[in-house]
Chains A and B, each alone.
Chain A
Amino acid sequence: MPDITAAAIDTTPQIKVLFFAALREAIGHSELQLTLPAPLQISGVLALLSAQSSKVHQALAGREVLAALNQQLVGCDTWVHSGDELALFPPVTGG
Protein backbone atom coordinates (compact mmCIF):
# COMPACT_ATOMS: atom_id res chain seq x y z
CA MET A 1 0.00 0.00 0.00
CA PRO A 2 2.42 2.64 -1.20
CA ASP A 3 -0.14 5.50 -1.03
CA ILE A 4 -0.69 5.12 2.71
CA THR A 5 3.07 4.99 3.35
CA ALA A 6 3.62 8.16 1.33
CA ALA A 7 0.89 9.97 3.25
CA ALA A 8 2.36 8.92 6.59
CA ILE A 9 5.80 10.18 5.57
CA ASP A 10 4.38 13.53 4.48
CA THR A 11 2.70 14.29 7.78
CA THR A 12 5.66 13.40 10.00
CA PRO A 13 8.78 13.86 7.89
CA GLN A 14 11.93 12.04 9.01
CA ILE A 15 15.13 13.91 8.28
CA LYS A 16 18.84 13.64 9.00
CA VAL A 17 20.51 16.68 10.57
CA LEU A 18 24.29 17.19 10.39
CA PHE A 19 26.36 19.71 12.37
CA PHE A 20 29.83 20.90 11.48
CA ALA A 21 32.80 22.74 13.00
CA ALA A 22 32.12 25.06 15.97
CA LEU A 23 28.42 24.18 15.91
CA ARG A 24 29.19 20.45 16.07
CA GLU A 25 31.48 21.01 19.05
CA ALA A 26 28.97 23.24 20.88
CA ILE A 27 26.16 20.73 20.39
CA GLY A 28 28.30 17.66 21.05
CA HIS A 29 26.86 15.69 18.12
CA SER A 30 27.72 15.51 14.46
CA GLU A 31 24.49 13.87 13.34
CA LEU A 32 20.96 13.13 14.50
CA GLN A 33 17.72 11.73 13.10
CA LEU A 34 14.72 13.96 13.59
CA THR A 35 11.01 13.33 13.18
CA LEU A 36 9.12 16.52 12.43
CA PRO A 37 5.62 16.94 13.89
CA ALA A 38 4.56 18.49 10.57
CA PRO A 39 6.21 19.74 7.37
CA LEU A 40 8.51 22.62 8.36
CA GLN A 41 10.80 25.21 6.86
CA ILE A 42 14.46 25.15 7.99
CA SER A 43 13.72 28.03 10.38
CA GLY A 44 11.05 25.82 11.95
CA VAL A 45 13.50 22.92 12.30
CA LEU A 46 15.95 25.27 14.07
CA ALA A 47 13.19 26.37 16.47
CA LEU A 48 12.22 22.73 17.09
CA LEU A 49 15.83 21.71 17.81
CA SER A 50 16.25 24.66 20.19
CA ALA A 51 13.04 23.78 22.02
CA GLN A 52 14.10 20.13 22.40
CA SER A 53 17.55 20.77 23.88
CA SER A 54 18.98 23.61 25.95
CA LYS A 55 22.44 22.71 24.65
CA VAL A 56 21.28 23.20 21.06
CA HIS A 57 19.44 26.36 22.09
CA GLN A 58 22.66 27.78 23.56
CA ALA A 59 24.72 26.67 20.57
CA LEU A 60 22.37 28.35 18.08
CA ALA A 61 21.73 31.53 20.09
CA GLY A 62 23.57 34.54 18.72
CA ARG A 63 25.42 32.47 16.13
CA GLU A 64 25.22 32.94 12.38
CA VAL A 65 24.15 29.56 10.99
CA LEU A 66 24.23 28.51 7.35
CA ALA A 67 22.07 25.69 6.04
CA ALA A 68 22.58 23.18 3.26
CA LEU A 69 19.69 20.97 2.19
CA ASN A 70 20.81 17.83 0.37
CA GLN A 71 24.25 19.40 -0.02
CA GLN A 72 23.06 22.70 -1.56
CA LEU A 73 23.34 26.02 0.28
CA VAL A 74 19.79 27.32 0.84
CA GLY A 75 17.91 29.99 2.77
CA CYS A 76 16.15 29.25 6.07
CA ASP A 77 12.73 29.65 4.44
CA THR A 78 13.32 26.46 2.41
CA TRP A 79 10.86 23.61 3.12
CA VAL A 80 12.24 20.33 4.43
CA HIS A 81 10.90 17.03 3.14
CA SER A 82 11.07 13.47 4.40
CA GLY A 83 14.42 11.83 3.69
CA ASP A 84 16.21 15.17 3.38
CA GLU A 85 19.71 15.72 4.70
CA LEU A 86 19.89 19.09 6.46
CA ALA A 87 23.36 20.35 7.38
CA LEU A 88 23.82 23.27 9.77
CA PHE A 89 27.16 25.03 10.16
CA PRO A 90 28.91 28.33 10.86
CA PRO A 91 30.07 30.58 7.99
CA VAL A 92 32.75 28.73 6.03
CA THR A 93 36.46 29.55 6.37
CA GLY A 94 38.26 27.42 3.78
CA GLY A 95 40.57 28.51 1.02
Chain B
Amino acid sequence: MPATINCRVQPEDFALDHEYQALQRQDCGAVVLFCGLVREQFQPQDGPQDMPQSGDTLQALELEHYPGMTEQSIRAIAGQAVKRFDLRAITVIHRIGLLPLGAQIVLVGVAAPHRSDAFAACDMMMDYLKNQVPLWKKVHFSTSTAWADAKASDKQALNRWQTAEQNTAEN
Protein backbone atom coordinates (compact mmCIF):
# COMPACT_ATOMS: atom_id res chain seq x y z
CA MET B 1 0.00 0.00 0.00
CA PRO B 2 1.49 3.38 -0.97
CA ALA B 3 2.34 5.74 1.86
CA THR B 4 1.76 9.48 1.83
CA ILE B 5 5.07 11.29 2.28
CA ASN B 6 5.19 14.95 3.30
CA CYS B 7 8.65 16.55 3.68
CA ARG B 8 9.28 20.25 4.32
CA VAL B 9 12.33 22.40 5.05
CA GLN B 10 11.21 25.80 6.29
CA PRO B 11 12.01 28.67 8.67
CA GLU B 12 8.42 28.69 9.96
CA ASP B 13 7.32 26.86 13.09
CA PHE B 14 4.90 23.92 12.90
CA ALA B 15 1.84 22.98 14.96
CA LEU B 16 1.93 19.48 16.44
CA ASP B 17 -1.87 19.10 16.64
CA HIS B 18 -2.24 19.98 12.97
CA GLU B 19 0.49 17.55 11.88
CA TYR B 20 -0.95 14.82 14.16
CA GLN B 21 -4.41 15.18 12.62
CA ALA B 22 -2.95 15.14 9.09
CA LEU B 23 -1.22 11.81 9.84
CA GLN B 24 -4.32 10.01 11.12
CA ARG B 25 -5.75 7.23 8.93
CA GLN B 26 -8.63 4.81 9.44
CA ASP B 27 -6.31 1.85 8.87
CA CYS B 28 -3.62 3.13 11.27
CA GLY B 29 -3.70 2.17 14.92
CA ALA B 30 -0.47 4.05 15.69
CA VAL B 31 0.88 7.55 15.21
CA VAL B 32 4.35 8.29 16.58
CA LEU B 33 5.55 11.89 16.63
CA PHE B 34 9.09 12.91 17.52
CA CYS B 35 9.85 16.58 18.07
CA GLY B 36 13.42 17.88 18.51
CA LEU B 37 13.85 21.11 20.50
CA VAL B 38 16.60 23.67 21.05
CA ARG B 39 17.89 22.79 24.51
CA GLU B 40 19.95 24.65 27.08
CA GLN B 41 23.71 24.33 26.55
CA PHE B 42 26.83 25.92 28.00
CA GLN B 43 29.92 27.02 26.11
CA PRO B 44 32.25 24.01 26.55
CA GLN B 45 35.46 26.10 26.63
CA ASP B 46 34.39 27.41 30.03
CA GLY B 47 34.77 24.00 31.65
CA PRO B 48 33.18 20.55 31.65
CA GLN B 49 30.53 20.25 28.98
CA ASP B 50 26.89 20.63 30.03
CA MET B 51 27.83 22.00 33.48
CA PRO B 52 26.43 25.38 34.47
CA GLN B 53 29.19 27.92 33.85
CA SER B 54 29.90 31.60 33.96
CA GLY B 55 26.89 32.74 32.00
CA ASP B 56 27.90 31.94 28.41
CA THR B 57 24.75 30.01 27.73
CA LEU B 58 23.04 29.09 24.49
CA GLN B 59 20.75 31.79 23.15
CA ALA B 60 19.84 30.25 19.81
CA LEU B 61 20.76 27.68 17.19
CA GLU B 62 21.29 28.74 13.60
CA LEU B 63 20.49 26.03 11.06
CA GLU B 64 22.23 26.16 7.68
CA HIS B 65 21.29 23.80 4.86
CA TYR B 66 21.97 22.92 1.23
CA PRO B 67 18.82 24.01 -0.62
CA GLY B 68 17.61 21.26 -2.91
CA MET B 69 19.79 18.48 -1.54
CA THR B 70 18.28 18.78 1.95
CA GLU B 71 14.73 18.20 0.72
CA GLN B 72 15.87 15.46 -1.65
CA SER B 73 17.79 13.54 1.02
CA ILE B 74 14.95 13.78 3.54
CA ARG B 75 12.60 12.36 0.89
CA ALA B 76 15.07 9.55 0.20
CA ILE B 77 15.15 8.67 3.91
CA ALA B 78 11.34 8.61 4.08
CA GLY B 79 11.39 6.35 1.00
CA GLN B 80 13.75 3.93 2.77
CA ALA B 81 11.49 3.86 5.83
CA VAL B 82 8.48 3.01 3.67
CA LYS B 83 10.37 0.12 2.05
CA ARG B 84 11.49 -1.25 5.39
CA PHE B 85 8.38 -0.87 7.56
CA ASP B 86 4.63 -1.15 7.13
CA LEU B 87 3.70 2.55 7.08
CA ARG B 88 0.82 4.62 5.67
CA ALA B 89 2.00 8.21 6.17
CA ILE B 90 5.17 10.12 7.02
CA THR B 91 5.67 13.79 7.82
CA VAL B 92 9.16 15.24 8.22
CA ILE B 93 9.58 18.96 8.88
CA HIS B 94 13.02 20.47 9.50
CA ARG B 95 13.34 24.12 10.36
CA ILE B 96 16.21 26.35 9.20
CA GLY B 97 17.45 29.79 10.24
CA LEU B 98 17.78 31.22 13.73
CA LEU B 99 15.89 29.22 16.37
CA PRO B 100 15.81 30.46 19.98
CA LEU B 101 16.12 28.34 23.11
CA GLY B 102 13.07 26.10 23.46
CA ALA B 103 12.09 26.32 19.77
CA GLN B 104 10.98 23.28 17.79
CA ILE B 105 13.67 22.21 15.30
CA VAL B 106 12.44 19.02 13.72
CA LEU B 107 9.34 16.86 13.50
CA VAL B 108 9.26 13.25 12.38
CA GLY B 109 5.75 11.79 12.36
CA VAL B 110 4.75 8.31 11.29
CA ALA B 111 1.36 6.62 10.91
CA ALA B 112 1.26 2.84 10.76
CA PRO B 113 -1.22 0.04 11.37
CA HIS B 114 0.88 -1.09 14.37
CA ARG B 115 3.09 0.73 16.87
CA SER B 116 6.27 -1.33 16.41
CA ASP B 117 6.65 -0.15 12.80
CA ALA B 118 5.80 3.44 13.74
CA PHE B 119 8.34 3.59 16.59
CA ALA B 120 11.11 1.90 14.60
CA ALA B 121 10.55 4.02 11.47
CA CYS B 122 10.61 7.24 13.50
CA ASP B 123 13.82 6.16 15.27
CA MET B 124 15.50 5.15 12.00
CA MET B 125 14.57 8.36 10.18
CA MET B 126 15.99 10.48 13.01
CA ASP B 127 19.27 8.54 12.88
CA TYR B 128 19.51 9.10 9.11
CA LEU B 129 18.55 12.78 9.52
CA LYS B 130 21.39 13.25 12.00
CA ASN B 131 23.98 11.66 9.69
CA GLN B 132 23.06 12.07 6.03
CA VAL B 133 21.06 15.27 5.53
CA PRO B 134 23.05 18.43 4.73
CA LEU B 135 22.11 20.55 7.75
CA TRP B 136 24.54 22.24 10.15
CA LYS B 137 23.97 23.81 13.55
CA LYS B 138 25.78 26.94 14.66
CA VAL B 139 25.45 27.54 18.38
CA HIS B 140 24.95 31.16 19.41
CA PHE B 141 26.10 31.60 23.01
CA SER B 142 25.74 34.90 24.92
CA THR B 143 29.23 36.10 23.93
CA SER B 144 30.44 33.71 21.22
CA THR B 145 29.42 31.32 18.45
CA ALA B 146 30.59 27.79 17.59
CA TRP B 147 29.68 25.21 14.96
CA ALA B 148 28.27 22.06 16.57
CA ASP B 149 30.51 19.00 16.21
CA ALA B 150 29.15 15.79 14.73
CA LYS B 151 28.81 13.15 17.45
CA ALA B 152 30.31 9.67 17.25
CA SER B 153 27.21 8.38 19.07
CA ASP B 154 25.00 9.59 16.18
CA LYS B 155 27.16 7.68 13.71
CA GLN B 156 26.98 4.53 15.84
CA ALA B 157 23.20 4.88 16.05
CA LEU B 158 23.05 4.91 12.24
CA ASN B 159 25.32 1.85 11.96
CA ARG B 160 22.79 -0.36 13.74
CA TRP B 161 20.25 0.19 10.93
CA GLN B 162 22.85 -0.38 8.22
CA THR B 163 24.13 -3.56 9.92
CA ALA B 164 20.55 -4.81 10.26
CA GLU B 165 19.99 -4.07 6.56
CA GLN B 166 23.09 -6.07 5.58
CA ASN B 167 21.99 -9.01 7.74
CA THR B 168 18.56 -8.95 6.10
CA ALA B 169 20.16 -8.89 2.65
CA GLU B 170 22.44 -11.82 3.49
CA ASN B 171 19.67 -14.02 4.91
What distance in Å separates the Cβ of A61 from its nearest Cβ neighbour in chain B? 17
What distance in Å separates the Cβ of A2 from its nearest Cβ neighbour in chain B? 29
A94 touches B137 (CB 8 A): yes
B72 touches A20 (CB 8 A): no
A92 touches B150 (CB 8 A): yes
B126 within 8 A of A: yes
Q: Taking A20-B134, A21-B147, A87-B134 as contacts, is the C-beta distance between A94 and B69 under 8 angstroms?
A: no
A94–B73 Cα distance when bound, in Å, is 12
Contact partner of A89 (CB less than 8 A), chosen from B66, B126, B138, is B66
Which residues of B have CB within 8 Å of A73?
A: 73, 132
Contact partner of A94 (CB less than 8 A), chosen from B68, B94, B147, B149, is B94
Which residues of B have CB within 8 Å of A20?
A: 64, 66, 134, 136
Q: Taking A18-B66, A21-B64 as contacts, is the C-beta distance between A95 and B126 under 8 angstroms?
A: yes
A89–B133 Cα distance when bound, in Å, is 11
A68–B138 Cα distance when bound, in Å, is 21
A95 touches B106 (CB 8 A): yes
What are the 4 closest A-B residue pairs judged by CB atoms, nearest first?
Answer: A94-B135, A91-B150, A21-B136, A71-B69
A94 touches B150 (CB 8 A): no
Interface class of chain B by DSSP: mixed
Contact partner of A93 (CB less than 8 A), chosen from B72, B94, B106, B135, is B135
A91–B134 Cα distance when bound, in Å, is 8
B23 within 8 A of A: no
Q: Taking A21-B147, A68-B66 as contacts, is the C-beta distance between A92 and B133 under 8 angstroms?
A: yes
Interface size on B, residues (CB 8 A): 28
Which residues of B have CB within 8 Å of A94?
A: 63, 65, 94, 106, 129-130, 133-137
B131 within 8 A of A: yes
What distance in Å separates the Cβ of A56 from its nearest Cβ neighbour in chain B? 18
B79 within 8 A of A: no
B36 within 8 A of A: yes
A22–B150 Cα distance when bound, in Å, is 12
Contact partner of B150 (CB less than 8 A), chosen from A68, A71, A87, A90, is A90
- Nearest to B70 among chain A residues (CB) is A94
Which residues of A have CB within 8 Å of B68?
A: 71
